[in-house]
Structure 1
Amino acid sequence: MLHDPETAVTKWDTAIRNLAVFAALAAIFEGTHDTADQWAQRGADAVNKGLYGDHLVLADGSPASPQDIADPLVRTMSATTLGRISAARHVLCYGAVQTAATLTVTRALGFRPRPAALLAGAAINLGTHLIIDRRRPLLRLAVRVGKGDYVKACTVVRAEGKAADSGGPGTALFELDQALHRTIGLAAAAVSAALAVRNTR
């Protein structure tokens, strides 16, 4: 059976273009990850996004005193509520940085991906980022896949007399967090790329 050389070249060109779109998006997602996740994150959100509990706290995460609770002018909320607010605010900021970078780079290079393609990738990145950064789901996953001892062993004491930090920079949980974000970023780039080149073959 004879093969049409022109058809073979067209398929090759299509494959190269699709891989190039994926590689570009993956590079943008990876290249902006640390800036969006670390530099653009508010310090208070980094500290409070993993909070849980029914006990009342102030907006900065410090425990609410009886006087604070009784004062109608002082805003208090449960620790869980503050944790959700902090995580959501961080994720929205993360998404804004990553989306701005994606639009800037792709447009500068003459490629305008479909909005639906970018939204799909953003939904994957941001939805999973929110779940991971609430910490308990990540810890449950770590334990389930046999990383529980690693998480317990690799903690950091930030100051003398303070309890060990099990989730911040330098800890096993933080490393697992970053690894998962980056792997999911590749999946998000693949989905975005697939949608971006759909019907353009």
Structure 2
Amino acid sequence: MTPEQIETAIAFGAVAPTLYAAHAVGDHWVQSHTSACAKGTAGAAGHRACLTHVLTYLATCLVAVLAVTAALGILDTLTATGVVVGLVVNGLTHYVVDRRKPLVFLARLTGHGGWIDSGDPEAAYKLDQSWHLGWLLVSAVLTVTL
């Protein structure tokens, strides 16, 4: 491995779990009850609630990534482009599924409609969270490689 590859691997090893932790905090503790209830509703109010949630969520992710990489002395391995692109991908994919109808559409498209329609109260939540976590992995890679 080259020194640059080692540096990237170390940064990924810091950024990926940081985004995972920030996701949990931003998606559950930072999100307001109002946003949680309204973000999937139709119309401007639903879009506004979802946007508010995603912006506070992304702020949580940004602060966490900057704080952890600074504390570890590896902040300089990140570029502004990588951080911005990672956050944009994270935010856009988060927004789309949190509008709820796209989550149901994707579940049905991939053969999980029966689970969504089964009445299992955790089905939508688990699909939502696994979607977010998959995109967090992509976001972490983009953050450290761009």
Both structures adopt the same fold (TM-score exceeding 0.5):
yes
Percent identity (aligned)? 31
Matching residue within 81, 86, 90 for 2:44:
81
Decide whether the 8 Å contact of 2:11 with 2:74 is kept in 1: no
- Which residue identity lines up with residue 172 of structure 1 in the other structure? A
TM-score (norm 1): 0.69
Q: TM-score, normalised by structure 2?
A: 0.93
Question: Which runs of 5 or more structure 1 residues have no equivalent in the other structure?
Answer: 1-10, 53-79, 157-170, 196-201
Residue 105 of structure 1 is aligned with which of 68, 76, 79?
68
Question: Bigger radius of gyration, 1 or 2?
Answer: 1
**Is 1:91 equivalent to 2:42 in the alignment?**
no
Quick check: 1:179 aligned with 2:145?
A: no
User: Cα deviations across residues 130-187 of structure 1 (Å, max 9, x unaligned)?
Assistant: 111001111101000000001111434xxxxxxxxxxxxxx20111000010010000
Higher share in helix: 2
| Unaligned 5+ runs, structure 2 | none
Shift of 1:14: 3.5
Q: Which residue of 1 aligns with 2:117?
A: 152
User: Paired residue for 2:97?
Assistant: 132
Aligned to 1:188: 139
Runs of 4+ residues deviating >2 angstroms: 11-17
Q: How many matched pairs?
A: 144
Q: SS in structure 1 opposite 2:89?
A: helix
Residues 14 and 115 of structure 1: is their aligned pair in 2 closer, same or farther, counting only changes over 3 Å? closer
Distance 2:48 2:120 in 1: 26
